[in-house]
Chain A
Amino acid sequence: MDRYGMQNQIACIRRSLFDQGYLDEQFIQLEELQDDANPNFVQEIVTLFYTDSTRLIQNIELTLTSRPTNFSKLDDYMHQFKGSSSSIGAKKVTSECAVFRQYCAAGNAEACIRSFQHIKQEHAILRKKLEFYFQMMGQAAVAQTT
């Protein structure tokens, strides 16, 4: 694929991420922070997010499966998770977190479990999409240098 073709494709991928609601403008804030001094800033942040959130997800799962359900702990974790995901602009993930917290506040363990499944799904979907996106960007960068 030629250079411009790749650029266009990347732009399209990026646009669709926003259009489909996977990312919000906070992601743009991250992009704006990227500069020559930190050329891979966005990717670094996303990587960091996924490393950290995986750990959080594990904790939440453990807490969800233990009985009696510790809602306040769940809320704490989810609050953290929500803060994290919102800071990278993960729109769908963040809104699912909000839903979870509502159920949690209501003490509805069943709904929490279901909601958490959604969160994990969105989390995984976004990860794939972003990985693909970064991959394309990497390829385009390589293509540019060749």
Chain B
Amino acid sequence: MNVSSVKGSMSISSSTSTWKAGDTISDQFPAGLRVLVVDDDPTCLMILEKMLIACLYKVTKCNRAETALSKLRENKNGYDIVLSDVHMPDMDGFKLLEHIGLEMDLPVIMMSADDGKQVVMKGVTHGACDYLIKPVRIEALKNIWQHVVRKRKNEWKEFEQSGSVEEGDRQPKQSDDADYSSSANEGNWKGSKRRKDEEEETDERDDTSTLKKPRVVWSVELHQQFVAAVNQLGIDKAVPKKILELMNVPGLTRENVASHLQKYRLYLRRLSGVSQHQSNLSTIISAQDPTFGSLSSLSGLDLQTLAATGQLPAQSLARLQAAGLGRATAKSAIPITLVDQRNIFSFENPKLRFGEGQQQHMTNKQQVNLLHGIPTTMEPKQLVSLRHAAQSVGNMNMQVPPHGPQSSQNNPLLMQMGQQQQQQQSRGQILVDSTINHAPRLSSMGQPILSNGMATNVSSRSGIPENIRAPGYSQTPSMLNFPMNHASELPGNCFPLGSTPGVSNLTSKGAFQEDVNSEIKGSGGFMPSYDVFNDLNQHKPQSWELQNVGIAFDSSQHSNSLQGNLDLTQSALGQQGFSSGQMNGHNRSAAVASKAMFSTGDVKELRSAQNVNQHLNNLLVDNTIRVKSERVCDTSPANIFPDHFGQDDLMSALLKQQESVASSENEFDFDGYSMNNIPV
């Protein structure tokens, strides 16, 4: 997309001026944030209201979920964020969450006195962008605006990337909602709408990848039009092309409709209790549907969900999608799932994690696209993880596909891992994903990780960061193992997982751990990056590094850790026994990893997340190839770099790059060759 074209279509001056006005608004932001709080307990409700007012938000309170829903429906754009209690007499909080996600696509924060892991996980899987433990402190509420901004950013990015909007130097601000809305979804471009309130983004927007299409926000009216068209055609005969024609909405693309259709089908299926996830998943995987790119509002929520479940079964995926998408889930669960997952990933990451920069969101989005092409053979869980990975990895995943199914599997994972910190969560997921691919083992492992990731979020919210992290952290090892398993599936040595090594790794997590010193991250070899994410959350840069062995170290995380990681990586790599069982390869990957890490650190200057993502995508593709070549000529590590191993390395390198890129907010102008150039 070119910004210029967009500009041309839009009145730049007006958008600019609008932006200026927005600037003023953004100065006051987050003051005035419109919050809807729902809680059946009058005491809590009153306290929350008072706290929110003290935060200078504009508060509306409801004591019943139904009331809240009707308020939201009446005034679709009247609220920025919803806070809801989990236990309510008239409707379960999660149900409300799903409704809101489907219909309005607003960020929703769940609250409860219950801090049990299951409940928190449920929040994640249902698409909540955060989870607060009661009693809620005012400090926790002061930061809820980040979810709004993040979501907008993601939507914006998606919008930009989907192609209907020209990117390039387009400044997000310029894409005035008025302009966009007229072109696409009239009056309902939340992204643009919110954009005004967003503070930055310009940096990130620069050089955004043009891969993504602009995000379509499925407003209630649009959705109704859609449903009418579908009903008119007949649910079985409803094909995107015809629906698009019937709807006759300017600016809406066939892909938008297709992805929405997928979600819708999933949603219907879910309603009727049919679950075809399994089949869908396979479909999704194999279907590198371009529609993925235009994910609807499947934001981090989905991702979270995925993450939470780790091995999200097809059903859950669909559910997630429905919830996270905020629109009807697509019928073909799989494609959508994948897509959603991606979205989730992207969204999730930012949300879940750490309120990281917007970039991450962006990267996530991009990543989501990446997921498209990724592994078709992935099981639902994997998809979930992929999504995460995709999101976090952003482009990484996408790049992988070219390498083939296996590589794609790995790559996305890798890529995802490389992505931003958000990815940490996604990473964990990735790990999970990878594991899922491989075996049931993975699933079990993945879960813990996911929960960790999720827990992290939650804990931070509830102020129990350490507790939650800890468990997650330990779980990382398992995650690592997953990658191992994953490798087994891959032909050759793509991943360190390798068949044997990985497997053994899995089973003997402890073994890895020994090697790795810190968490098992290292054991995963490539997957470590996934673990790393988890670990990262845990604040264990070291372990994180190990994980990153395969994946570029999340430079954003800690530049220091990079160094440390390298070392660990090396050792971890050695320990890990890459699938190929090649120590050389290991070293090499470690070396590569280290290099990647370094380079990431160096590259921090790259600002636009989008660029990075795009870049990553390109890089990944290129990198995989280049990495190989580089490795070959790399003299520092053992040159005995088997070809097949290179794939793994590439993946890891890519991941690393991705990660570092992601983490470093896409500052990392990763060039496939940069690894060599990294001043170690």
Known pairs A32-B138, A52-B41, A52-B42; A87 contacts B47 (CB<8 A): yes
Structural contact, B134 and A87, CB atoms closer than 8 A = yes
Known pairs A30-B47, A79-B87; A84 contacts B41 (CB<8 A): yes
A44 partner residues in chain B, CB cutoff 8 A = 46
Give residues 136-167 of B contacting A (CB, 8 Å).
136-138
Q: Taking the nearest CB of chain B, how far is it from the CB of A127, in angstroms?
A: 14
Give residues 73-121 of A contacting B (CB, 8 Å).
76, 79-80, 82-84, 86-89
Binary contact track B40-56/A, C-beta < 8 Å → 1, others 0: 11111011001100100
Known pairs A29-B137, A33-B138, A38-B50; A82 contacts B43 (CB<8 A): no
How many chain B residues touch A (CB < 8 A): the figure is: 20
- What is the CA–CA distance of A87 and B51 in the complex, to the nearest angstrom? 12
Known pairs A33-B54, A52-B41, A76-B87; A45 contacts B46 (CB<8 A): yes
Which residue of the partner chain, among A32, A76, A83, contacts B41 with CB atoms under 8 Å?
A83
For the A-B complex, the count of residue pairs with Cβ-Cβ distances under 8 Å equals 58
Structural contact, B113 and A41, CB atoms closer than 8 A = no
Q: Taking the nearest CB of chain A, how far is it from the CB of B139, in angstroms?
A: 9
- What is the CA–CA distance of A44 and B50 in the complex, to the nearest angstrom? 12
- What is the CA–CA distance of A82 and B42 in the complex, to the nearest angstrom? 13
**Which residue of chain B lies nearest to A27 when distances are taken between CB atoms in the complex?**
B135
Structural contact, B43 and A52, CB atoms closer than 8 A = yes
Flag whether B624 is at the interface (Cβ < 8 A).
Answer: no
Structural contact, B47 and A45, CB atoms closer than 8 A = yes
Flag whether A48 is at the interface (Cβ < 8 A).
Answer: yes
Q: Taking the nearest CB of chain B, how far is it from the CB of A63, in angstroms?
A: 14
Q: Max chain A CB contacts within 10 Å: which of B50, B51, B112, B134?
A: B50
- What is the CA–CA distance of A76 and B89 in the complex, to the nearest angstrom? 10
- What is the CA–CA distance of A38 and B46 in the complex, to the nearest angstrom? 12
**Which residue of chain A lies nearest to B44 when distances are taken between CB atoms in the complex?**
A87
Flag whether A139 is at the interface (Cβ < 8 A).
Answer: no
**Which residue of chain A lies nearest to B139 when distances are taken between CB atoms in the complex?**
A29
**Which residue of chain B lies nearest to A53 when distances are taken between CB atoms in the complex?**
B43
Q: Taking the nearest CB of chain B, how far is it from the CB of A39, in angstroms?
A: 13
A49 partner residues in chain B, CB cutoff 8 A = 43
- What is the CA–CA distance of A80 and B41 in the complex, to the nearest angstrom? 7
B51 partner residues in chain A, CB cutoff 8 A = 29, 33
- What is the CA–CA distance of A41 and B46 in the complex, to the nearest angstrom? 10
A32 partner residues in chain B, CB cutoff 8 A = 138
* Interface positions of B (Cβ within 8 A of A): 40-44, 46-47, 50-51, 54, 85, 87, 112-114, 134-138
* Interface positions of A (Cβ within 8 A of B): 26, 29-30, 32-33, 38, 41, 44-45, 48-49, 52, 76, 79-80, 82-84, 86-89
Q: Can you report 8 A-B residue pairs in the complex whose CB atoms are below 8 A from each other?
A: A29-B51, A29-B137, A33-B54, A52-B41, A79-B114, A83-B112, A84-B43, A87-B135
